[in-house]
Structure 1
Amino acid sequence: MAPYESDDSTTAGEADDLRTGRNKAARYVVPVAVVGVAAATIGLVPALADSGDPDLPKISAQQLIDKIAKSDVQQMSGTVKISTDLGLPDLGGLESSLTSGAGKSGDGSSADPSAKLTELATGTHTLRVAADGPDRQKISLLENAAEYSLIHNGKDVWGYDSQSNSVYHSTASDSTAEHKKEDVPATPKDLTEDALKAVDDTTSVTVEGTAQVAGRDAYRLVIKPKQSGSTVGQITVAVDSKTGLPLKFTLTPASGGAAVIDAGFTQVGFAKPAASTFDFKVPKGAKVTEDDQTDHADGHFDGGLKGDEKSGKPDGELAKGPDGLNVIGKGWNSIATFDTGGQGVPSGSDVGGDFGGFLDSLGDKVTGKFGSGTVFKTRLINALITDDGKVYVGAVNKDALVKAANKG
């Protein structure tokens, strides 16, 4: 990490490694119909609800980041509440159609985690989580009169949707099992690790007081962009003072108001979960979908934001991402861009009906040297789609997108 403005600073040698993970931290939550790609959960930043200000020894930002990095909680269980408010209009009956086709494998099983967990992009949800070392984790999404569970047990990954009595199964190698586990950043620790990878010399990191979360004393780590133009206001992480485990993760937009995402433990314990927690038996009559393991990379947004080492281009210039995706800009003002091949997004009048109204409610028409296009907006992620099919997307405001498009 690059040095910060105060003594609460990190060392310069870590900046490249953290910057490389910027794309992963910015898993853009953009409507599927808008950008044509499903991306779940940007580095979640929830608003911290103080339930007390414990008196703890002073600690620097670097020391607290080191404490997070050294945290080695192998066994734990608890309940996590996640609230997401991207400022999208009420989708009504469109919500299921927008998410139902995103990321499903095979015949579109509702038990596929890449499809089911898109629900976390809106509203408030409660998760039960449990872990016993690197080979056993379980996440359960509690719904009205239903439950969705994702279980990683050794080389098996199981997803079960009780509402449809559908099962998803993957028999993975060590690497793909780990990949599947990382596809579900459901705990504050997962989210914090992603967010810290966004830290570079465009970022201010400080320790600002203490809090109590789920009955545990915690430090408040605050991460803020130094640059103007970002839609991110700040990220606040409550870090357990004893274990270094992030307990709560909050992202507040630059526009103010409620947090875009608030994810935190409401209950947590560090006893070893019972082995039966991770057992799974296919329920009677359930439809089982076996995963096509050639699709394991789908939906993963892991391109780096470092300069092109082969060409010698420094950071801030055009950097190649995966599958024709390019990244321009630096730090929090990074913008992902790709070309759809000349297929712009139709206007609401072209589409008609409820879906046309949905598109119009999201988009603002813009013009510039690039021609014309539409900016689709949320409280955090904005996307410019030009009429000739080029896409610019990032956690930046409309003016930054237009400026990027004008530069071509």
Structure 2
Amino acid sequence: MAPYESDDSTPAGEVEDVRDGRRRAARYVVPVTVVGVAAATIGLVPAFAGSGDPDLPKISAQQLIEKIAKSDVQQMSGTVTISTDLGLPNLGGLEDSLASGALSQGGGQGKGDSAADPSSKLLELASGTHTVRVAADGQDKQKLSLIEKAAEYSVIRNGDQVWAYDSASNQAYHATGAGEHKSGEAAPKDVPATPRDFADHALKAADKTTSVTVDGTAQVAGRDAYKLLVRPKQSGTTVGAISIAVDAKTGLPLKFTLTPAKGGAAVLDVGFTQVSFAKPAASTFDFTPPRGTKVTQGDDLKAGKAGEAGEAGKAGEVGKAGREAQREDTGTTPWGGASKTLGEGWNAIYVFDTGSKGGVPSGSPSEDGAASGFLNSLGDHVTGKFGSGTVFSTRLVNALITDDGKVYAGAVTKDALLKAANAGK
């Protein structure tokens, strides 16, 4: 039966918000929380799977989304391939400079930090193709390993103990008191790496700005799956469609693909190439630092930052996590200014003030030099009622940084950004 649409909409269920560990990286690079920006709301449109291979029972889009929400995979392991193509230029060594500078502002590899701190690895997933091994056993045991050419980076959670190990630098990071994780997740939430991580973002809310249908069936990693197709009804967005392959038996998303409105290769493609729902060996979640490893304790990082801040450090004794929580509670940006959202659904534009004249946030000379080179390689100078500024574009997320320090960003076209900025004046 061919898919059909209805104006009825039903909330997709509450889905935990992923902690914005990439907020620090957005200091210089336009926000690339791809799914969070692009799919803020989803309208559930009843539809039925047509004939296909494999041949599965018919299911509505609403039923399939409910199946995802109710998925309770406690034990799993597998290999995931993550491919990201935002259309960024080849930055060479500049990418590392940007990451180092941005992260040093909020908990990356600054003085007293560790190369094994998970926050220092987030930017690596923003471009190129990566292979990740994942495993989970219940609520308190997860492991994620990023496989590189001549090295491996792993994050392991076992009870309230979290270890991260970077074999390239022979450094380890250790923290205690990890929070709860949803079943089926394989790593702390600041490391989104599985199709479920991204699907949860896309299905966290619902309205009528989106068409959601079941688009047949497929096989992913040897598993029978339904294909959930998410398309914006609004014009002006850079998002073409999101496809989520959902395991027919367990409801676990097996593959997530986001394609741009202009066509071409997927901007984001995350999928299992191998998956098993057998109980992983207990030893999978054991970790002992190899001999000679430099180990940094999470509390040591917080103490080091407070010391560097002098008297201001007294107020920062709550540590990095506390400061981030305060920002979330007050709705402020990393620069301390208020943020707001213009528009809705796929056309949402996020606006905030960096407080920096000239369009580029202030920082150290080395950071500004790296940022300036990067931004100049992407930017187009524009003018309007708002004054003047520069538009920085990727294949999905675009951002306007005005010369008076305001930022307009979203998964929308350049014209939509300029219209929003002009209306703001």
TM bracket (short chain): 0.7 to 0.9
Structure 2 CA distance for partners of 1:133 and 1:335, relative to 1, 3 Å: same
Q: In the superposition, relative to structure 1, how do residues 74 and 213 fare at CA in structure 2: closer, same or farther (>3 Å)?
A: same
Amino acid at match of 2:65: I
Looking at structure 1, the residues matched to 347 and 21 of structure 2 have their Cα atoms a distance apart, in angstroms, of 11
Structure 1 length normalisation: TM-score? 0.82
Task: State whether residues 337 and 390 of structure 1, in contact with CA within 8 Å, keep that contact through their aligned partners in structure 2.
Answer: yes
TM-aligned CA distance change 1:189 to 1:253, over 3 Å: same
Distance 2:25 2:391 in 1: 12
Distance 2:222 2:247 in 1: 10
Residues 1:176 and 1:244: Cα distance change in structure 2 (over 3 Å)? closer
Q: What is residue 276 of structure 2 aligned with on the other side?
A: 269
How has the CA–CA distance of structure 1 residues 236 and 402 changed in structure 2, closer, same or farther, with 3 Å as cutoff?
same
- Contact (CA 8 Å) 1:8, 1:62: kept in 2 or not? no
Question: For 1:331, which of 345, 354, 367 is the aligned residue?
Answer: 345
Give, in angstroms, the shift of residue 214 of structure 1: 0.2
TM-score by length of 2: 0.79
Partner of 2:384: 368
3-state SS in 1 of match to 2:235 = coil
Which runs of no fewer than 5 residues in structure 2 stay unpaired? 39-51, 303-317
Counterpart position of 1:340: 354
Match of 2:133 among 128, 135, 138: 128
2-side partners of 1:232 and 1:302: how far apart? 28
Determine the C-alpha separation between the residues in 2 that align with 1:242 and 1:29. 38
Gaps of 5+ in 1: 46-51, 305-319
Root-mean-square deviation (Å): 3.4
Contact 2:84 2:269 in 1 (8 A): yes
For residues 29-57 of structure 1, the C-alpha deviation after alignment (integer angstroms, 9 at most, x for no partner) is 9865245x7x6554599xxxxxx831111
Residue matched to 1:232: 239
Judged with a 3 Å threshold, the aligned counterparts in structure 2 of structure 1 residues 296 and 190 are, in CA distance, closer, same or farther, namely same
Residue range with higher mean Cα deviation, 189-198 or 220-229: 189-198
Change (3 A) 1:68 1:34: closer
Deviates more, 1:180-189 or 1:130-139: 180-189
* Contact 2:139/2:180 (8 A) holds in 1: no
Equivalent residue number for residue 220 of structure 1: 227
**Amino acid corresponding to residue 284 of structure 2 in structure 1:** T
Distance 1:5 1:334 in 2: 26
Call closer, same or farther: CA 1:354–1:111 in 2, change over 3 Å.
closer
Aligned equivalent of 1:33? 28
**In structure 1, what is the equivalent of residue 76 of structure 2?**
76
Alpha-carbon spacing, 1:34–1:131, altered in 2? closer, same or farther (3 Å): closer
**Alignment-derived partner of residue 64 in structure 2:** 64
* 1:2-401 alignment runs, 5 A limit: 6=5, 10-11=9-10, 14=11, 32-35=27-30, 42=35, 53-103=53-103, 104-105=107-108, 107-172=112-177, 174=179, 181-291=188-298, 292=302, 294-296=319-321, 321-323=331-333, 324-345=338-359, 356-401=372-417
Q: Distance in 2 between matches of 1:125 and 1:44?
A: 22
How many residue pairs match? The answer is: 376
Q: Is contact 1:24–1:301 with CA below 8 Å preserved after alignment?
A: no
Change (3 A) 1:177 1:240: closer
Amino acid paired to 1:268: V
Contact 1:139 1:149 in 2 (8 A): yes
Whether the 8 Å CA contact 1:156–1:177 is kept in 2: the answer is: no
